[in-house]
Structure 1
Amino acid sequence: MEDEATKSEQAGAFWDGWEAWRAAQPPRVRWNESEEIVRHVNARICGRPVDGFNQGLIDLFRERAGSDIPLARAVSVGCGNGGKEMTLLQQGLVQHFDLYDVSRASLDIGVALAAEWGLSERTNFIHGDACAQPADASYDLVFWDNSLHHMFDAHAAVRWSRDSLRPGGWFVMNDFVGADRFQFPTSALLLTRLVRTLLPQRYRANPADPNRPYLPYVRRPTLAEMAYDPSEAADSEAIIPALREIFPDAWIKPTGGTVYHLALNDILTNIPDGSPLLTRLLKLDDLTSFIPHFAVAIARKPM
């Protein structure tokens, strides 16, 4: 069996090409490119349909952290280009970020962004696995944004997070917590089939080839198909149990996604923001959010 270091290198190679791949995709095919869905998710988190990806969690964390803001020293594991973390710097929640990622290309983009935004002195981009570093109880915040599900051992990553925090430090997470290696449960697959079957064919059109409509179902990928990134959803099902064990008082909120992410994956571009159809689909997502998919969490290490 390949060791985690080898798998991490393979994952880094995949993510090195992410920005170029994303730039070649049709517009607005992912849920986080829809302003309406982003506002809907933010409302589920903080009770207000605020604009901006992850802004609902940021606003709620600011309220909960109170006088602890600004936090002096934070770390992000799997930061990508660091744009989401630099939002916390720009909004005054954090003074300095250590930013880890296994993709050199993503970090290079992040360094350039930090310079452009005047944040170079407040960011430290580091190539590698943060969880391989000693946990020295020195951080005020450990931040995970859609990267914890790329850890090969979620329990160990959450434990590292707790041990890396000073007493009273904060853990904040926004992540995929659904099926390992996208082996989605039957309930999720049936729901996606229902949604796609009921959609008129024009909404199921393939953005890359409108003459070839998508099939009305989403299937589980084979493990061979998942080999493109050995870290994708490597241990995602273990995230919530790990949080409940390691941070017993954690606030955890499911944010849905089986409809707006899985069922509408790649065809969202056909369903405009503000349409009655999208509104109904988001209500359906709310009703079926018991199916594990996305979740956010805020926890504090005891003083």
Structure 2
Amino acid sequence: MLKNKYINTSDIMLAYEKFRGKRTLILLYKLLNIFFKNKRIESLWTPDKFNDTVHWGAIQYIEERNNYFISGSKYNSFGKYIINKYIKPKSPDAIGLTLGCGMGYREIELAESGCFMHIDSYDLSESALDEARRIANNKFLDNILYFEKKDINKYELPKNYYDIILVEQSLHHFSPLEPLMKKINNSLKSDGLFIINEYVGPDKFQWTEKQLNIANGLLAILPDRYKIQSYNKKIKRQICRPGLVRMKIYDPSEAVESSRIVPIAKNIFEIIEDVNYGGTVISLLFQDIANNFNEEDETAQKLLKIVTELEDCMINYGEINSDYKFLVCKKKIV
């Protein structure tokens, strides 16, 4: 089996399936855009890419588990938790900023809370922003929500302006990170908060041998009916690190400095809440097969309980790190 950090057998098989599936032009388009990073990222995050039912977080059992870790209740979502605990005290005139807003689902929830006077929301995908604007207009929230296409690395944020700055599963796409976080710190009011909900694991998804061994061991014991991949209807047999060439072609911004998010945040901000919610093993295990784990399937629920509790134990005993974190950061006055 071909195995190195640049390209491996799974990369070749994936490329073959794309060619065989008559997606040659799409693949060639990606190859041509390697040298145009922002254009490549913009073309990737179109509205259809946000309807992901194969991601580990799409499983209701895991969504409720993550809710519990973050808020203390499986019924209290991340959005409700941060609104009630951190944002309501700043209402009704809070000014917010979100980075990597996509289609604006979280921004809509924030605007509907009645806590904000104004929310700036930035992304690189114009098609996703168009959809966000459409939804905001339909809900009569366009006087609060302002969706704009901006490369934050090339844009200066106003100083001492925002009450809340939120990044949710987007900060790991930004680089260089340290100047950005300093910019965010300067842009917060003296009592402002920077809220992070992120993948903080190995850069470019170059997962450790231990987490791969655990994930593949669990995959091996799952019944085949739960391992049918949504994109090709084949049985998922192995979990591999993506080769760096594939990462460059697919999305050059993916997890580019993810492992540095926490240490940089702790250096620049005062951390007032720090929560691990795992994903180290189960995000790998359930990718592309999450849709097989229906909440009405009793066996599926038992399997979910077993694998999530195993991951939790291994994180709690320090055998593996948590690849996903929720952080609330307070502006540090220097």
TM-score (norm 2): 0.80
Structure 1 residues 281 and 94: CA distance shift in structure 2, 3 A = farther
CA contact (8 A) 2:164 2:188 kept: yes
CA contact (8 A) 1:71 1:141 kept: no
Q: CA deviation at 1:68?
A: 2.4
Q: CA deviation at 1:260?
A: 2.9
Alignment-derived partner of residue 280 in structure 1: 306
Alignment-derived partner of residue 48 in structure 2: 20
Q: CA deviation at 1:15?
A: 1.4
CA–CA distance in structure 1, aligned partners of residues 211 and 116 of structure 2:
37
Out of 55, 62, 66, the residue aligned to residue 41 of structure 1 is: 66
Query: Does the alignment pair 1:31 with 2:52?
Result: no
Query: Does the alignment pair 1:133 with 2:158?
Result: no
Structure 1 residues 158 and 277: CA distance shift in structure 2, 3 A = same
Residue segments in structure 1 that go unaligned for 5+ positions in a row = none
Query: Does the alignment pair 1:219 with 2:240?
Result: yes
CA contact (8 A) 1:101 1:128 kept: yes
Out of 128, 142, 165, the residue aligned to residue 165 of structure 2 is: 142
Superposition pairs for residues 230-249 of structure 1, below 5 Å? 230-249=252-271
Q: Figure out how many residues of one structure are paired with residues of the other and give that number.
A: 290
Segment of structure 1 superposing worse, 280-289 or 95-104? 280-289
Superposition pairs for residues 153-192 of structure 1, below 5 Å? 153-192=176-215
CA contact (8 A) 2:100 2:123 kept: yes
Structure 1 residues 115 and 64: CA distance shift in structure 2, 3 A = closer
What code does the residue aligned with 1:37 have?
A: I
Alignment-derived partner of residue 133 in structure 2: 111
Out of 104, 121, 127, the residue aligned to residue 82 of structure 1 is: 104
Q: CA deviation at 1:299?
A: 1.4
CA contact (8 A) 1:62 1:93 kept: no
Q: CA deviation at 1:163?
A: 1.1
Alignment-derived partner of residue 40 in structure 2: 10
Q: CA deviation at 1:65?
A: 5.2
Q: What are the superposed Cα offsets for residues 120-154 of structure 1, whole Å, 9 maximum, x if unpaired?
A: 11111111123422232211111101110000122
Q: Partner of 2:244: helix, strand, or coil? A: coil
Q: CA deviation at 1:66?
A: 5.8
CA–CA distance in structure 1, aligned partners of residues 165 and 102 of structure 2:
15
Alignment-derived partner of residue 326 in structure 2: 296
Q: Partner of 1:218: helix, strand, or coil? A: coil
What code does the residue aligned with 1:269 have?
A: N
What code does the residue aligned with 1:90 have?
A: E
Q: CA deviation at 1:171?
A: 0.6
Structure 1 residues 66 and 79: CA distance shift in structure 2, 3 A = closer
Percent same amino acid among aligned pairs? 27
Larger Rg: 2
RMSD of aligned C-alpha atoms?
Answer: 2.2
Structure 1 residues 146 and 209: CA distance shift in structure 2, 3 A = closer
Moved over 4 A (4+): none
Q: CA deviation at 1:197?
A: 1.1
Structure 1 residues 71 and 171: CA distance shift in structure 2, 3 A = farther
What code does the residue aligned with 2:184 have?
A: S
Out of 242, 258, 281, the residue aligned to residue 259 of structure 1 is: 281
Q: CA deviation at 1:177?
A: 0.5
CA contact (8 A) 1:172 1:298 kept: yes
Structure 1 residues 147 and 71: CA distance shift in structure 2, 3 A = farther
